[in-house]
Each structure stands twice: as structure tokens, then as C-alpha cells.
Amino acid sequence: ILDIHGGPTGFFAAAYLPSHNRYADAVGLAERGFATLRANPRGSSGYGRDFRFANYNDWGGMDYQDLMAGVDHLISQGIADPERLGVLGWSYGGFMTSSVITQTNRFKAACVGAGVTNFMSFNGTADIPGFIPDYMDAEFWDDLEPYQEHSPLFNIRGVKTPTLVQHGEKDIRVPLSQGRELYNALKRQGIPTELIIYPRQGHGVAEPRLRADVKRRATAWFERWILGKE
């Protein structure tokens, strides 16, 4: 399972127990036979300024290549099965997950949590309207091309990956409409998908019971579409 952190300036730390991620249960996945890859693609913190800014105007570009290089390395080591791959992430990780499935059909299942899927509509509805223009180095009315090029929703044709979409009802950082747009686009193309909306939750799922449900549903989604368990 490729687990993608948020941010994009977040990072996973190397430790005996992987750094805490409330949306992916690495231990629980391991109990069910899944290995988890937690990579730090360009744009992550902790590797210097140049690396931190290397994904400007390139979300879903070389950061995607970094992640796939990690997947391919684990396949070459015999750790990952190329026929049984899954991907998930929350926030920027949710964006990257939706970007991944628009660029490859190698993954058998995906879980998108609170991900940006349409840069244009996000720019007009989020509580940080300058966030994407800073990364794209332009407002969309001045330069539309990068907004379309890097938005998963504009590249959704041809997606085959069964995708679970999870989102907080009260999210103002990445509004629920971003998840709905992805869900509706997948559903209209006949791709297996579900939309789970967590009541009262913002950009992070804070209530312990609901947080546990996020992990439970993601694990069940992978077991269903990767392992064939109902």
C-alpha cells in the first residue's frame, strides 16, 4: 500500500514504528498481509530548501515519479506484488492519490481522503484561496493551463481504479465539494466508488470513533479489491 502524506510539506520519519498517521493503519494493514510504503517525494520537508520547493508548478509531476520509483524499488526487492497494489492519502495525499489513478492503472484500489481534485473550484471555495496560485505561480484567470494540467478531475477519463472517497462534512480547508466532484466523475464513468461523509468533521477527522471508521473502511476497501474479500 502506497501511503502518501499531506502538506505537501509533511513528511514521514524513519522510526521503528512509522510516524503517526491517523488515516492509514500500517500495523493493521500488516496484520492483513499488506506492506506499506511511506515515501517522502519532492516537496516534503526535511531535505533542504531546494527539495522543499521542487514541486512548485508540478503537483502530480515529478512527485508522482518519486512515489512510483519507490513502488518499483519494492517490487524489485520482492516486497511488493505488482498485481496487488493499493494507494491512499489524506489532504495533499488525497490529491496525489487521485492524481496517481489518473496517470496509471497499476493500482487495484485507492482511498482518497479530503483531497483537492479540481484546482479551479478549490481556489474559489477553500479558506486558503491563495494556496494553489502560489504553487502554480499564477491565478487561473491569468494562466489556465497549469490548473487543468495538474487537476485530477481534468484528467479523469480512462481511470479504472476502484476508489473510496472519504471527506469531513464541515471541511473548509478542502471543501466536501472536492470529494463530491471526484465521486460523481468516477460514478458517471462506471468506476466502482463510494463516498463516505463524516458528520461534524473538518479537514481532519477528530472524533475517535469516526477516525477508527476511516481506517476500517480503507482496510476493507483494499481487502475487497486487492484480495477479493467481501
Q: Which residues are catalytic?
A: 91, 203
Nearest by Cα to 119 from 131, 106, 108, 127: 131
**What is the number of other CB atoms lying within 10 angstroms of the CB of residue 96?**
30
Rounded Cα distance, 164 and 176, in Å: 14
Grid cell of 21 as nine digits: 498517521
Rounded Cα distance, 210 and 96, in Å: 23
Place of cell 489524506: 90
Rounded Cα distance, 37 and 39, in Å: 6
Rounded Cα distance, 214 and 181, in Å: 20
Grid cell of 228 as nine digits: 477479493
